[in-house]
């Protein structure tokens, strides 16, 4: 699978994304052919090489005829323009999703309805080129999935149509809710609302770079000149051939060691965590300082849920500190189907790599329900369900565990 990883060490903007893609090998002529399908007039897009703090990159330059474009456009106007274009359905849908997300953020900031949000015409045309260009560029490069680092926000203030606003801009803060972000004291706006809208809509996971074989890289330049190179890096490559038919994503892993909590509380914590959306949670016995026996509690969740589950563990356990990290994860394709057996309907979870079934198991809760209702030993229920599945299906009758949502390779 071909993926693009955006390293936002100096933030991101729409023009930086375009510049990075062109620097990584996107043909500017092909990109302009795609953008011409919008049937927008009186604008042009060009690219030029630049050097930022000694590091070279590519800057996208959008020129707009301000004598023609001086009105305002609503979300409906922009979406209608995109949907009336000759762009592919996939590009249209992703572009509309980005603008909808951006308009929703602006509406929350200004305490108004989405339909009342208007983009100034010059800014709207610039944003249309950035958004549709980014989506089209990724498509032209054959990118199948997008991943991204934590987002560098910047600090200080920025001057815009509404006056002087704090950095990050209010709309940007709305857009990055649930996303890993940071600031280092660099003055100025590093992450723009358009850049945030594009990345938060298209990105499959935020965190360290997934495992891949690097093919290309590129640097897209912003217009400002802060203390660090004002560049956005994109790395393009393929995931390893042995995991091509698996899903690749990233998870946050939280850990804490506990030696002073009533053991009865662990069951409650685990059930609550799973109910709140944790991907997994488990316990290990450990020897702690002064040779005290204790428990290592490990919780796995989506990166955007990191802070929510950090608060949860600190509130629900006796821990006063946590460790956390991002990890890459490979997940086999899976499906859940219902089968009819002599004991009743049972869900069966199937995991595949390409066309090969690598694991199957009956849903434990279904088997347990049958055992209780029909007063049959649970192990006999599981065994009969396994026998009655198609003989072509390989099934592991020893691990009917419905609690595991992911199969890790």
Token pair, residue 211, equals 């495992």
* C-beta separation of 7 from 152 below 8 A: no
- In 3D space, the residue among 10, 27, 9 whose CA is nearest the CA of residue 18 turns out to be 27
In 3-state terms, what secondary structure has residue 259?
coil
Q: What is the pLDDT of residue 243?
A: 54
């009186």: which residue's tokens? 42
d(CA 200, CA 398): 41
Within a 10 A sphere around the Cβ of 68, how many other Cβ atoms?
A: 13
d(CA 407, CA 409): 7
**Strand-strand pairing, 2-7 and 145-148:** parallel
d(CA 231, CA 233): 6
Token pair, residue 6, equals 């955006």
- In 3D space, the residue among 318, 314, 376, 315 whose CA is nearest the CA of residue 344 turns out to be 376
Separation in Å, CA 282 to CA 41, 122, 132, 179? 58, 53, 44, 25
d(CA 199, CA 196): 5
CB-based contacts of 112, cutoff 8 Å, min separation 6:
none
d(CA 306, CA 49): 39
d(CA 123, CA 222): 16
DSSP line for 279-338: SEEEEEEEE-GGG-EEEEEEEEE-GGGHHHHHHHHHHHSS-S--EEEEEEEEEEEEEEEE
- In 3D space, the residue among 12, 21, 20 whose CA is nearest the CA of residue 150 turns out to be 12
Torsional class of 83: left (φ above 0), alpha (ψ -120 to 50), beta (otherwise): alpha
- In 3D space, the residue among 198, 201, 174, 178 whose CA is nearest the CA of residue 111 turns out to be 174
Please report, in tens digits, the pLDDT of each residue of the chain (409 residues total).
899 999 999 999 999 999 999 999 999 999 999 999 999 988 999 999 999 999 999 999 999 887 675 567 889 999 999 999 999 999 999 999 999 999 999 999 989 888 888 776 445 889 999 999 999 999 999 999 999 999 999 999 888 766 788 999 999 999 999 888 999 989 999 999 999 999 999 998 888 888 889 999 999 999 999 999 999 999 999 876 455 566 777 788 999 999 999 999 999 999 999 999 999 999 999 999 989 999 999 999 988 788 899 999 999 999 999 999 888 788 887 788 888 889 989 999 888 777 778 888 899 999 999 999 999 999 999 999 888 876 444 444 444 444 333 322 2
Enter the CATH code of domain 332-388: 3.10.20.300
* C-beta separation of 11 from 191 below 8 A: yes
d(CA 356, CA 353): 5
Q: What is the pLDDT of residue 211?
A: 82
Token pair, residue 229, equals 């190179």
CATH 2.60.420.10 fits 247-330, yes or no: no
* C-beta separation of 407 from 351 below 8 A: yes
- In 3D space, the residue among 305, 309, 308, 289 whose CA is nearest the CA of residue 297 turns out to be 309
**Whole-structure pTM value:** 0.69
Token pair, residue 281, equals 């949670």
d(CA 389, CA 360): 10
Separation in Å, CA 12 to CA 16, 23, 158, 191, 235? 6, 15, 15, 5, 14
CA atoms within 13 A on the CB side of 269: 24
So where are the chain's domains? Answer: 2-239, 247-330, 332-388
Q: What is the pLDDT of residue 397?
A: 44
Is residue 305 exposed (0-12), middle (13-18) or buried (19+ Cβ within 10 Å)? buried
């Amino acid at each position: 699978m071909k993926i693009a990883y955006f390293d936002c060490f100096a933030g991101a903007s729409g023009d930086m994304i375009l510049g990075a893609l062109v620097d990584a090998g996107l043909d500017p002529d092909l990109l302009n052919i795609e953008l011409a399908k919008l049937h927008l007039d009186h604008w042009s897009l060009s690219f030029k090489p630049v050097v930022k703090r000694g590091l070279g990159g590519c800057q996208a330059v959008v020129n707009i005829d301000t004598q023609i474009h001086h009105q305002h456009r609503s979300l409906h106007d922009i979406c209608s323009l995109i949907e009336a274009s000759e762009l592919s359905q996939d590009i249209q849908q992703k572009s509309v999703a980005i603008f909808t997300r951006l308009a929703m953020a602006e509406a929350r900031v200004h305490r108004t309805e989405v339909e009342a949000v208007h983009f100034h015409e010059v800014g709207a045309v610039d944003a249309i080129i950035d958004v549709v260009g980014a989506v089209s560029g990724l498509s032209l490069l054959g990118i199948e999935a997008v991943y991204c680092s934590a987002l560098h926000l910047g600090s200080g203030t920025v001057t815009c149509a509404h006056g002087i606003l704090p950095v990050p801009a209010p709309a940007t803060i709305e857009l990055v809710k649930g996303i890993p972000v940071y600031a280092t004291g660099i003055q100025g706006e590093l992450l723009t609302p358009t850049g945030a809208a594009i990345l938060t809509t298209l990105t499959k996971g935020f965190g360290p770079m997934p495992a891949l074989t690097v093919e290309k890289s590129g640097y897209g330049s912003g217009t400002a000149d802060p203390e660090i190179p004002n560049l956005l890096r994109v790395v393009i490559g393929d995931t390893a051939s042995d995991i091509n038919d698996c899903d690749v994503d990233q998870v946050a892993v939280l850990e804490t060691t506990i030696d002073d909590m009533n053991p009865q509380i662990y069951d409650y914590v685990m059930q609550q965590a799973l109910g709140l959306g944790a991907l997994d949670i488990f316990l290990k016995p450990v020897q702690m300082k002064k040779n005290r026996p204790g428990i290592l509690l490990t919780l796995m969740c989506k990166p955007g849920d990191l802070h929510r589950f950090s608060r949860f563990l600190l509130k629900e356990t006796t821990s006063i500190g946590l460790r956390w990290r991002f990890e890459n994860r490979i997940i086999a394709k899976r499906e859940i189907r219902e089968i009819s057996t002599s004991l009743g309907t049972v869900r069966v979870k199937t995991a595949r790599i390409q066309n090969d079934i690598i694991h199957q198991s009956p849903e434990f809760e279904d088997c347990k329900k049958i055992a209780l209702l029909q007063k049959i030993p649970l192990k006999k229920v599981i065994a009969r369900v396994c026998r009655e599945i198609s003989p072509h299906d390989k099934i592991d009758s020893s691990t009917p565990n419905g609690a595991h949502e992911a199969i890790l390779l």
